[in-house]
Structure 1
Amino acid sequence: MMSANRRFICYQPNPAAELNLLCFPFAGGSATVFHPWAARLPAHVQMFAYQPPGRAQRLREPRCINMSAYIEDIWQGLCEIPDKPMILFGHSMGAFVAYELIRKLQQSGRRLPVKAVFSAAKSPWKNHRTRFLSQLADDDFISALKLKGGFPAEILNHHELMAMCTPFVKSDYHIAESYQCPDGQQQPMPVPAIVFGGPMMTSHKMNCPTGSLCFQHRQSCILFPVDISSSTTKAYGMI
Protein backbone atom coordinates (compact mmCIF):
# COMPACT_ATOMS: atom_id res chain seq x y z
CA MET A 1 0.00 0.00 0.00
CA MET A 2 1.37 3.38 -0.99
CA SER A 3 1.68 6.12 1.60
CA ALA A 4 2.37 9.74 0.82
CA ASN A 5 2.67 13.14 2.31
CA ARG A 6 2.43 16.09 -0.02
CA ARG A 7 6.11 16.02 -0.96
CA PHE A 8 7.44 12.48 -0.51
CA ILE A 9 5.84 9.24 -1.66
CA CYS A 10 6.59 5.87 -0.11
CA TYR A 11 5.38 3.28 -2.62
CA GLN A 12 6.04 0.34 -0.31
CA PRO A 13 5.89 1.33 3.37
CA ASN A 14 8.26 -0.61 5.57
CA PRO A 15 8.19 0.67 9.17
CA ALA A 16 10.77 -1.91 10.24
CA ALA A 17 13.34 -0.60 7.76
CA GLU A 18 16.64 0.58 9.22
CA LEU A 19 17.51 2.99 6.43
CA ASN A 20 15.69 5.67 4.43
CA LEU A 21 16.49 6.15 0.74
CA LEU A 22 15.45 9.61 -0.49
CA CYS A 23 15.27 9.88 -4.29
CA PHE A 24 15.20 13.00 -6.45
CA PRO A 25 14.20 12.82 -10.14
CA PHE A 26 15.68 14.34 -13.28
CA ALA A 27 14.46 17.63 -14.77
CA GLY A 28 10.78 17.31 -15.63
CA GLY A 29 10.55 13.97 -13.82
CA SER A 30 8.28 12.98 -10.95
CA ALA A 31 8.24 10.55 -8.07
CA THR A 32 6.66 7.98 -10.40
CA VAL A 33 9.98 7.22 -12.09
CA PHE A 34 11.13 5.56 -8.86
CA HIS A 35 8.02 3.39 -8.48
CA PRO A 36 9.66 0.25 -9.96
CA TRP A 37 12.47 0.49 -7.41
CA ALA A 38 10.25 -0.03 -4.37
CA ALA A 39 9.80 -3.78 -4.77
CA ARG A 40 13.45 -4.37 -5.66
CA LEU A 41 15.25 -2.78 -2.74
CA PRO A 42 16.71 -4.74 0.21
CA ALA A 43 14.35 -5.41 3.11
CA HIS A 44 16.17 -3.00 5.43
CA VAL A 45 15.56 -0.02 3.12
CA GLN A 46 12.46 2.16 2.82
CA MET A 47 12.32 4.49 -0.19
CA PHE A 48 10.83 7.97 -0.26
CA ALA A 49 10.51 9.54 -3.71
CA TYR A 50 10.28 13.32 -3.94
CA GLN A 51 7.26 14.69 -5.83
CA PRO A 52 8.06 18.20 -7.12
CA PRO A 53 5.24 20.75 -7.22
CA GLY A 54 3.37 21.28 -10.45
CA ARG A 55 2.85 17.59 -11.30
CA ALA A 56 0.77 14.55 -10.32
CA GLN A 57 -1.04 15.10 -7.00
CA ARG A 58 0.71 18.49 -6.69
CA LEU A 59 -0.43 19.64 -10.13
CA ARG A 60 -2.19 22.76 -8.86
CA GLU A 61 0.81 23.99 -6.89
CA PRO A 62 3.17 26.58 -8.41
CA ARG A 63 6.31 25.05 -9.87
CA CYS A 64 9.71 25.84 -8.38
CA ILE A 65 11.50 28.57 -10.30
CA ASN A 66 14.98 28.15 -8.84
CA MET A 67 17.09 25.73 -6.80
CA SER A 68 16.42 27.58 -3.54
CA ALA A 69 12.69 27.03 -3.99
CA TYR A 70 13.27 23.31 -4.54
CA ILE A 71 15.36 22.98 -1.38
CA GLU A 72 12.85 24.94 0.69
CA ASP A 73 10.02 22.72 -0.56
CA ILE A 74 11.98 19.56 0.26
CA TRP A 75 12.95 20.97 3.66
CA GLN A 76 9.30 21.32 4.61
CA GLY A 77 8.68 17.66 3.75
CA LEU A 78 11.59 16.19 5.71
CA CYS A 79 9.73 16.46 9.01
CA GLU A 80 7.25 13.82 7.80
CA ILE A 81 9.95 11.24 7.09
CA PRO A 82 10.96 8.84 9.90
CA ASP A 83 14.12 9.92 11.70
CA LYS A 84 16.50 7.18 10.58
CA PRO A 85 19.87 7.07 8.82
CA MET A 86 19.39 8.03 5.19
CA ILE A 87 20.97 7.82 1.77
CA LEU A 88 20.29 10.44 -0.90
CA PHE A 89 20.04 9.51 -4.58
CA GLY A 90 19.76 12.09 -7.36
CA HIS A 91 19.74 11.60 -11.13
CA SER A 92 20.80 14.45 -13.44
CA MET A 93 19.13 17.60 -12.03
CA GLY A 94 18.19 15.47 -9.00
CA ALA A 95 21.91 15.12 -8.25
CA PHE A 96 22.18 18.91 -7.88
CA VAL A 97 19.11 18.88 -5.65
CA ALA A 98 20.61 16.14 -3.46
CA TYR A 99 23.91 18.03 -3.23
CA GLU A 100 22.18 21.27 -2.22
CA LEU A 101 20.13 19.40 0.38
CA ILE A 102 23.35 18.08 1.93
CA ARG A 103 24.64 21.65 2.11
CA LYS A 104 21.42 22.78 3.79
CA LEU A 105 21.54 19.94 6.31
CA GLN A 106 25.16 20.72 7.14
CA GLN A 107 24.53 24.46 7.54
CA SER A 108 21.55 23.74 9.80
CA GLY A 109 23.40 21.30 12.02
CA ARG A 110 21.02 18.46 11.10
CA ARG A 111 21.90 14.79 10.75
CA LEU A 112 23.76 14.22 7.48
CA PRO A 113 23.14 11.30 5.13
CA VAL A 114 25.33 8.26 5.61
CA LYS A 115 25.96 8.31 1.87
CA ALA A 116 25.09 10.25 -1.28
CA VAL A 117 24.69 8.75 -4.75
CA PHE A 118 24.90 11.06 -7.76
CA SER A 119 24.03 9.91 -11.28
CA ALA A 120 24.51 11.52 -14.72
CA ALA A 121 25.35 15.05 -13.58
CA LYS A 122 28.33 17.33 -14.01
CA SER A 123 30.24 18.61 -11.03
CA PRO A 124 28.34 21.34 -9.14
CA TRP A 125 31.46 23.51 -9.37
CA LYS A 126 31.53 23.53 -13.17
CA ASN A 127 29.98 26.65 -14.69
CA HIS A 128 29.62 25.26 -18.21
CA ARG A 129 26.50 23.27 -19.00
CA THR A 130 24.95 21.95 -22.17
CA ARG A 131 23.26 24.40 -24.50
CA PHE A 132 20.21 26.05 -23.01
CA LEU A 133 17.29 23.97 -24.30
CA SER A 134 14.99 25.83 -21.92
CA GLN A 135 15.30 28.95 -24.08
CA LEU A 136 13.84 27.24 -27.15
CA ALA A 137 10.27 27.72 -28.34
CA ASP A 138 7.97 24.99 -27.03
CA ASP A 139 7.83 22.94 -30.26
CA ASP A 140 11.61 23.14 -30.68
CA PHE A 141 12.08 22.25 -27.03
CA ILE A 142 9.96 19.10 -27.38
CA SER A 143 11.87 18.13 -30.55
CA ALA A 144 15.15 18.59 -28.67
CA LEU A 145 13.91 16.33 -25.87
CA LYS A 146 13.11 13.63 -28.42
CA LEU A 147 16.63 13.84 -29.83
CA LYS A 148 18.22 13.93 -26.39
CA GLY A 149 16.46 10.78 -25.21
CA GLY A 150 15.66 9.70 -21.67
CA PHE A 151 12.16 11.20 -21.60
CA PRO A 152 9.20 8.81 -22.23
CA ALA A 153 8.26 8.92 -25.92
CA GLU A 154 4.59 8.28 -25.15
CA ILE A 155 4.49 11.54 -23.19
CA LEU A 156 6.49 13.57 -25.71
CA ASN A 157 4.15 12.46 -28.51
CA HIS A 158 0.99 13.29 -26.56
CA HIS A 159 0.19 16.86 -27.62
CA GLU A 160 -2.41 17.64 -24.95
CA LEU A 161 -0.26 16.21 -22.18
CA MET A 162 2.83 18.08 -23.32
CA ALA A 163 0.86 21.32 -23.46
CA MET A 164 0.30 20.84 -19.73
CA CYS A 165 3.77 19.51 -18.89
CA THR A 166 6.04 21.73 -20.98
CA PRO A 167 6.01 24.74 -18.60
CA PHE A 168 7.34 22.82 -15.60
CA VAL A 169 9.72 20.70 -17.71
CA LYS A 170 11.24 23.84 -19.24
CA SER A 171 11.41 25.45 -15.81
CA ASP A 172 13.34 22.45 -14.46
CA TYR A 173 15.67 22.52 -17.44
CA HIS A 174 16.38 26.19 -16.86
CA ILE A 175 17.27 25.46 -13.22
CA ALA A 176 19.55 22.56 -14.20
CA GLU A 177 21.21 24.41 -17.07
CA SER A 178 21.97 27.51 -15.03
CA TYR A 179 22.90 25.77 -11.78
CA GLN A 180 26.27 26.30 -10.16
CA CYS A 181 27.16 25.85 -6.52
CA PRO A 182 26.43 29.24 -4.88
CA ASP A 183 29.83 29.35 -3.18
CA GLY A 184 31.47 29.33 -6.60
CA GLN A 185 34.35 27.25 -5.25
CA GLN A 186 34.84 23.60 -4.58
CA GLN A 187 33.83 22.71 -1.04
CA PRO A 188 34.52 19.49 0.86
CA MET A 189 31.79 16.89 0.61
CA PRO A 190 30.88 16.06 4.22
CA VAL A 191 29.55 12.58 3.39
CA PRO A 192 30.82 9.56 1.41
CA ALA A 193 29.70 9.73 -2.21
CA ILE A 194 29.23 7.45 -5.20
CA VAL A 195 29.11 9.04 -8.65
CA PHE A 196 27.74 7.20 -11.70
CA GLY A 197 28.68 8.50 -15.14
CA GLY A 198 28.03 7.25 -18.65
CA PRO A 199 30.46 7.01 -21.58
CA MET A 200 30.26 10.75 -22.39
CA MET A 201 31.05 11.83 -18.84
CA THR A 202 34.38 12.18 -17.08
CA SER A 203 35.28 12.06 -13.43
CA HIS A 204 35.44 15.55 -11.91
CA LYS A 205 37.52 15.91 -8.78
CA MET A 206 35.36 15.98 -5.65
CA ASN A 207 36.90 16.80 -2.30
CA CYS A 208 35.35 14.11 -0.09
CA PRO A 209 36.50 12.46 3.12
CA THR A 210 39.55 10.30 2.41
CA GLY A 211 38.67 7.18 0.47
CA SER A 212 34.98 7.97 0.35
CA LEU A 213 34.47 8.82 -3.34
CA CYS A 214 33.74 6.06 -5.83
CA PHE A 215 33.32 6.93 -9.52
CA GLN A 216 31.64 4.35 -11.74
CA HIS A 217 31.36 4.48 -15.53
CA ARG A 218 28.25 2.75 -16.89
CA GLN A 219 27.08 2.52 -20.47
CA SER A 220 23.44 3.28 -19.58
CA CYS A 221 23.90 5.96 -16.95
CA ILE A 222 22.97 8.90 -19.18
CA LEU A 223 19.48 7.40 -19.22
CA PHE A 224 17.61 6.72 -16.01
CA PRO A 225 19.01 3.60 -14.23
CA VAL A 226 15.94 1.37 -14.17
CA ASP A 227 17.84 -1.86 -13.44
CA ILE A 228 17.90 -1.26 -9.69
CA SER A 229 17.74 -4.38 -7.53
CA SER A 230 19.14 -5.74 -4.30
CA SER A 231 22.04 -7.29 -6.19
CA THR A 232 22.91 -4.18 -8.21
CA THR A 233 22.71 -1.83 -5.23
CA LYS A 234 25.05 -4.14 -3.34
CA ALA A 235 27.40 -4.57 -6.31
CA TYR A 236 27.78 -0.83 -6.80
CA GLY A 237 27.96 -0.05 -3.08
CA MET A 238 24.84 2.10 -3.10
CA ILE A 239 23.23 0.54 -0.04
Structure 2
Amino acid sequence: METSVSLLCLPCAGASATMYLRWRRLLPGWIRVVPVELPGRGSRSAESPLRDFDSLVAQVCAEQADAMRGNFAIFGHSMGALLAYGIACRLRTMGRELPVALLASGSSAPSRRDPARFAGKTDDASLIADLRKQGGTPEEVFASAELMRITLDVLGADYRVCEGFRHAGDAPLPVPLHVFAGHHDDIDAERIRAWSAEAGGVFTLDWFDGGHFFIRHQEAAFLAALSQRLGGVVAGGRHATHALA
Protein backbone atom coordinates (compact mmCIF):
# COMPACT_ATOMS: atom_id res chain seq x y z
CA MET A 1 0.00 0.00 0.00
CA GLU A 2 1.31 3.46 -1.00
CA THR A 3 2.21 6.05 1.61
CA SER A 4 -0.26 8.93 1.33
CA VAL A 5 0.96 12.27 -0.01
CA SER A 6 -0.73 15.67 0.15
CA LEU A 7 -0.37 17.33 -3.26
CA LEU A 8 -0.68 21.12 -3.06
CA CYS A 9 -1.78 22.37 -6.50
CA LEU A 10 -1.19 25.96 -7.63
CA PRO A 11 -3.20 27.36 -10.56
CA CYS A 12 -2.01 28.98 -13.76
CA ALA A 13 -2.35 32.71 -14.41
CA GLY A 14 -5.94 33.95 -14.47
CA ALA A 15 -7.33 30.69 -13.11
CA SER A 16 -8.84 29.36 -9.92
CA ALA A 17 -7.66 26.30 -8.02
CA THR A 18 -11.00 24.72 -8.91
CA MET A 19 -9.19 23.58 -12.08
CA TYR A 20 -7.79 20.77 -9.91
CA LEU A 21 -10.97 19.62 -8.15
CA ARG A 22 -11.69 16.83 -10.66
CA TRP A 23 -8.27 15.34 -9.91
CA ARG A 24 -9.62 14.22 -6.53
CA ARG A 25 -11.63 11.50 -8.23
CA LEU A 26 -9.16 10.77 -11.04
CA LEU A 27 -5.95 10.31 -9.03
CA PRO A 28 -5.25 7.30 -6.76
CA GLY A 29 -6.58 7.56 -3.21
CA TRP A 30 -3.09 7.81 -1.71
CA ILE A 31 -2.67 11.23 -3.37
CA ARG A 32 -4.63 13.83 -1.41
CA VAL A 33 -5.23 16.77 -3.76
CA VAL A 34 -5.08 20.16 -1.99
CA PRO A 35 -6.13 22.93 -4.42
CA VAL A 36 -4.47 26.17 -3.27
CA GLU A 37 -6.80 29.09 -3.96
CA LEU A 38 -5.07 32.42 -4.45
CA PRO A 39 -6.59 35.82 -3.56
CA GLY A 40 -8.96 37.32 -6.09
CA ARG A 41 -10.49 34.16 -7.54
CA GLY A 42 -12.87 31.31 -6.72
CA SER A 43 -13.87 31.26 -3.06
CA ARG A 44 -11.56 34.27 -2.51
CA SER A 45 -12.99 36.45 -5.27
CA ALA A 46 -13.87 39.21 -2.78
CA GLU A 47 -10.16 39.71 -2.03
CA SER A 48 -7.81 41.78 -4.17
CA PRO A 49 -5.31 39.71 -6.16
CA LEU A 50 -1.67 40.25 -5.25
CA ARG A 51 0.67 41.64 -7.90
CA ASP A 52 4.04 40.92 -6.29
CA PHE A 53 5.74 37.53 -6.59
CA ASP A 54 7.54 37.50 -3.24
CA SER A 55 4.46 38.73 -1.37
CA LEU A 56 2.28 36.03 -2.91
CA VAL A 57 4.82 33.30 -2.12
CA ALA A 58 5.09 34.49 1.49
CA GLN A 59 1.31 34.53 1.85
CA VAL A 60 0.90 30.99 0.51
CA CYS A 61 3.66 29.73 2.82
CA ALA A 62 1.87 31.28 5.80
CA GLU A 63 -1.63 30.15 4.84
CA GLN A 64 -0.66 26.60 3.89
CA ALA A 65 1.69 25.97 6.84
CA ASP A 66 -0.47 23.13 8.17
CA ALA A 67 -0.76 21.45 4.76
CA MET A 68 3.01 21.68 4.25
CA ARG A 69 3.93 19.21 6.96
CA GLY A 70 4.75 15.54 6.75
CA ASN A 71 4.44 13.90 3.33
CA PHE A 72 3.56 16.73 0.94
CA ALA A 73 4.47 17.64 -2.61
CA ILE A 74 3.92 20.88 -4.53
CA PHE A 75 2.57 21.02 -8.09
CA GLY A 76 2.01 24.04 -10.29
CA HIS A 77 1.09 24.66 -13.92
CA SER A 78 2.53 27.65 -15.81
CA MET A 79 2.52 30.54 -13.29
CA GLY A 80 1.74 27.92 -10.66
CA ALA A 81 5.02 26.14 -11.46
CA LEU A 82 6.95 29.35 -10.82
CA LEU A 83 5.10 29.84 -7.54
CA ALA A 84 5.76 26.22 -6.54
CA TYR A 85 9.47 26.80 -7.10
CA GLY A 86 9.38 30.06 -5.14
CA ILE A 87 7.56 28.38 -2.26
CA ALA A 88 10.11 25.55 -2.08
CA CYS A 89 12.95 28.09 -2.07
CA ARG A 90 11.28 30.11 0.69
CA LEU A 91 10.69 27.00 2.80
CA ARG A 92 14.39 26.20 2.52
CA THR A 93 15.39 29.76 3.46
CA MET A 94 13.09 29.64 6.49
CA GLY A 95 14.46 26.27 7.61
CA ARG A 96 11.05 24.68 7.24
CA GLU A 97 10.27 21.16 6.10
CA LEU A 98 10.71 20.70 2.34
CA PRO A 99 8.30 18.87 0.02
CA VAL A 100 8.99 15.25 -0.87
CA ALA A 101 8.90 16.44 -4.50
CA LEU A 102 8.43 19.55 -6.64
CA LEU A 103 6.36 19.08 -9.80
CA ALA A 104 6.39 21.79 -12.47
CA SER A 105 4.23 21.84 -15.58
CA GLY A 106 4.05 24.06 -18.68
CA SER A 107 6.70 26.55 -17.60
CA SER A 108 10.13 27.84 -18.53
CA ALA A 109 12.80 27.11 -15.94
CA PRO A 110 13.26 29.86 -13.34
CA SER A 111 16.68 30.70 -14.81
CA ARG A 112 15.32 30.94 -18.36
CA ARG A 113 12.25 33.13 -17.97
CA ASP A 114 11.51 35.39 -20.93
CA PRO A 115 11.29 38.95 -19.52
CA ALA A 116 9.40 40.13 -22.58
CA ARG A 117 6.68 37.51 -22.17
CA PHE A 118 4.49 39.67 -19.92
CA ALA A 119 5.83 43.17 -20.56
CA GLY A 120 3.23 45.69 -21.67
CA LYS A 121 0.33 43.25 -21.54
CA THR A 122 -1.99 45.37 -19.45
CA ASP A 123 -4.80 46.18 -21.89
CA ASP A 124 -7.81 43.91 -22.34
CA ALA A 125 -7.11 43.22 -26.02
CA SER A 126 -3.62 41.84 -25.31
CA LEU A 127 -4.87 39.73 -22.41
CA ILE A 128 -7.77 38.31 -24.44
CA ALA A 129 -5.38 37.48 -27.29
CA ASP A 130 -3.19 35.58 -24.85
CA LEU A 131 -6.18 33.65 -23.48
CA ARG A 132 -7.17 32.66 -27.02
CA LYS A 133 -3.61 31.66 -27.90
CA GLN A 134 -3.13 29.42 -24.86
CA GLY A 135 -6.44 27.65 -25.46
CA GLY A 136 -7.30 26.87 -21.86
CA THR A 137 -10.27 29.19 -21.31
CA PRO A 138 -13.82 27.82 -21.72
CA GLU A 139 -15.98 29.56 -24.34
CA GLU A 140 -18.53 30.36 -21.63
CA VAL A 141 -16.01 32.81 -20.16
CA PHE A 142 -15.57 34.66 -23.45
CA ALA A 143 -19.36 34.77 -23.87
CA SER A 144 -19.96 36.37 -20.45
CA ALA A 145 -18.98 40.01 -19.92
CA GLU A 146 -18.96 39.49 -16.15
CA LEU A 147 -16.77 36.36 -16.22
CA MET A 148 -14.49 37.97 -18.78
CA ARG A 149 -13.99 41.03 -16.58
CA ILE A 150 -13.12 38.90 -13.55
CA THR A 151 -10.75 36.74 -15.59
CA LEU A 152 -8.95 39.71 -17.15
CA ASP A 153 -8.51 41.48 -13.82
CA VAL A 154 -6.98 38.38 -12.25
CA LEU A 155 -4.89 37.61 -15.34
CA GLY A 156 -3.48 41.14 -15.41
CA ALA A 157 -2.48 40.89 -11.76
CA ASP A 158 -0.96 37.44 -12.30
CA TYR A 159 1.11 38.71 -15.22
CA ARG A 160 2.57 41.36 -12.91
CA VAL A 161 3.41 38.57 -10.45
CA CYS A 162 5.27 36.67 -13.17
CA GLU A 163 6.94 39.78 -14.51
CA GLY A 164 8.28 40.60 -11.06
CA PHE A 165 9.99 37.24 -10.53
CA ARG A 166 13.78 37.41 -10.27
CA HIS A 167 15.95 34.29 -10.30
CA ALA A 168 18.33 34.47 -7.36
CA GLY A 169 20.66 31.76 -8.63
CA ASP A 170 20.31 29.77 -5.41
CA ALA A 171 21.78 26.29 -5.03
CA PRO A 172 19.71 23.47 -6.55
CA LEU A 173 16.81 22.29 -4.42
CA PRO A 174 17.56 19.05 -2.54
CA VAL A 175 14.26 17.44 -3.54
CA PRO A 176 13.14 15.37 -6.54
CA LEU A 177 12.08 17.65 -9.39
CA HIS A 178 9.61 16.33 -11.96
CA VAL A 179 8.77 18.50 -14.98
CA PHE A 180 5.97 18.04 -17.52
CA ALA A 181 5.67 19.78 -20.91
CA GLY A 182 3.67 19.85 -24.13
CA HIS A 183 5.39 19.22 -27.46
CA HIS A 184 3.44 22.03 -29.11
CA ASP A 185 3.64 24.62 -26.36
CA ASP A 186 5.16 27.89 -27.57
CA ILE A 187 7.77 27.71 -24.79
CA ASP A 188 11.15 26.85 -26.29
CA ALA A 189 12.15 23.31 -25.33
CA GLU A 190 15.57 24.48 -24.14
CA ARG A 191 13.91 26.79 -21.61
CA ILE A 192 12.00 23.80 -20.22
CA ARG A 193 15.00 21.46 -20.12
CA ALA A 194 16.85 24.11 -18.09
CA TRP A 195 14.76 23.06 -15.06
CA SER A 196 17.39 20.34 -14.61
CA ALA A 197 19.78 22.97 -13.20
CA GLU A 198 17.41 23.49 -10.25
CA ALA A 199 17.47 19.81 -9.26
CA GLY A 200 19.84 18.74 -6.53
CA GLY A 201 18.87 15.10 -6.93
CA VAL A 202 16.45 13.20 -9.11
CA PHE A 203 15.18 15.04 -12.22
CA THR A 204 12.70 13.84 -14.83
CA LEU A 205 11.08 15.50 -17.82
CA ASP A 206 7.95 14.02 -19.39
CA TRP A 207 6.66 15.29 -22.76
CA PHE A 208 3.05 15.05 -23.99
CA ASP A 209 1.19 15.76 -27.20
CA GLY A 210 -0.58 19.10 -27.17
CA GLY A 211 0.06 22.72 -26.40
CA HIS A 212 0.18 24.74 -23.20
CA PHE A 213 -2.85 23.00 -21.70
CA PHE A 214 -1.74 19.42 -22.38
CA ILE A 215 -2.64 18.70 -18.73
CA ARG A 216 -6.27 19.06 -19.78
CA HIS A 217 -6.17 17.73 -23.35
CA GLN A 218 -3.98 14.74 -22.41
CA GLU A 219 -5.37 14.44 -18.90
CA ALA A 220 -5.35 10.66 -18.53
CA ALA A 221 -1.77 10.25 -19.76
CA PHE A 222 -0.58 13.23 -17.73
CA LEU A 223 -2.19 12.09 -14.46
CA ALA A 224 -0.79 8.59 -14.98
CA ALA A 225 2.71 10.09 -15.31
CA LEU A 226 2.19 12.34 -12.30
CA SER A 227 1.08 9.36 -10.20
CA GLN A 228 4.07 7.35 -11.37
CA ARG A 229 6.53 10.11 -10.48
CA LEU A 230 5.00 10.65 -7.04
CA GLY A 231 4.87 6.90 -6.48
CA GLY A 232 8.57 6.70 -7.23
CA VAL A 233 9.26 9.38 -4.63
CA VAL A 234 7.35 7.69 -1.82
CA ALA A 235 8.95 4.36 -2.77
CA GLY A 236 12.42 5.85 -2.46
CA GLY A 237 12.74 7.60 -5.82
CA ARG A 238 14.39 10.53 -4.05
CA HIS A 239 17.67 8.69 -4.60
CA ALA A 240 17.17 7.87 -8.27
CA THR A 241 19.34 9.27 -11.04
CA HIS A 242 18.48 11.97 -13.58
CA ALA A 243 16.19 10.86 -16.38
CA LEU A 244 14.78 12.53 -19.47
CA ALA A 245 11.66 10.79 -20.72
Alpha-carbon shift at residue 18 of structure 1 (Å): 2.4
1:188 and 2:172 aligned: yes
> What amino acid is the match of 1:213?
F
Distance 1:115 1:129, change over 3 A: same
Secondary structure of the equivalent of 1:165? helix
1:92–1:121 Cα contact (<8 Å) kept: yes
Distance 1:156 1:187, change over 3 A: farther
How many Å separate the matches in 2 of 1:79 and 1:207?
A: 23
Task: Tell me the residue number matched to 1:155.
Answer: 141
Which has the larger displacement, 65-74 or 95-104?
65-74
Secondary structure of the equivalent of 1:135? coil
Secondary structure of the equivalent of 1:197? strand
- 1:126 corresponds, among 79, 92, 112, to 112
Task: Tell me the residue number matched to 2:215.
Answer: 225
* Paired-residue identity, %: 26
How many Å separate the matches in 1 of 2:213 and 2:30?
A: 27
- 2:82 corresponds, among 90, 96, 107, to 96
1:22 and 2:36 aligned: no
Secondary structure of the equivalent of 1:151? coil
2:69–2:97 Cα contact (<8 Å) kept: no
Structure with the bigger percentage of helix: 2
How many Å separate the matches in 1 of 2:227 and 2:45?
A: 36
Secondary structure of the equivalent of 1:125? helix
Secondary structure of the equivalent of 1:170? helix
Could you list the per-position Cα deviations for residues 163-220 of structure 1 after superposition, in whole angstroms to 9, with x for gaps in the alignment?
Answer: 2331111110222244232x1x25312211011122253311414234x011122123
- 1:198 corresponds, among 169, 178, 182, to 182
Task: Tell me the residue number matched to 2:199.
Answer: 208
Secondary structure of the equivalent of 2:50? coil
Distance 1:134 1:33, change over 3 A: farther
How many Å separate the matches in 1 of 2:133 and 2:68?
A: 40
How many Å separate the matches in 2 of 1:154 and 1:108?
A: 42
Task: Tell me the residue number matched to 1:66.
Answer: 52
2:75–2:81 Cα contact (<8 Å) kept: yes
Alpha-carbon shift at residue 43 of structure 1 (Å): 1.7
Secondary structure of the equivalent of 1:206? helix
How many Å separate the matches in 1 of 2:66 and 2:73?
A: 16
TM-score, normalization by structure 2:
0.80
1:167 and 2:153 aligned: yes
Secondary structure of the equivalent of 2:197? coil
> What amino acid is the match of 1:233?
L
How many Å separate the matches in 2 of 1:192 and 1:82?
A: 16
1:46 and 2:32 aligned: yes
How many Å separate the matches in 2 of 1:131 and 1:192?
A: 28
How many Å separate the matches in 2 of 1:231 and 1:163?
A: 35
How many Å separate the matches in 2 of 1:95 and 1:156?
A: 25
How many Å separate the matches in 1 of 2:128 and 2:45?
A: 20
How many Å separate the matches in 2 of 1:175 and 1:230?
A: 27
2:75–2:102 Cα contact (<8 Å) kept: yes
Secondary structure of the equivalent of 1:164? helix
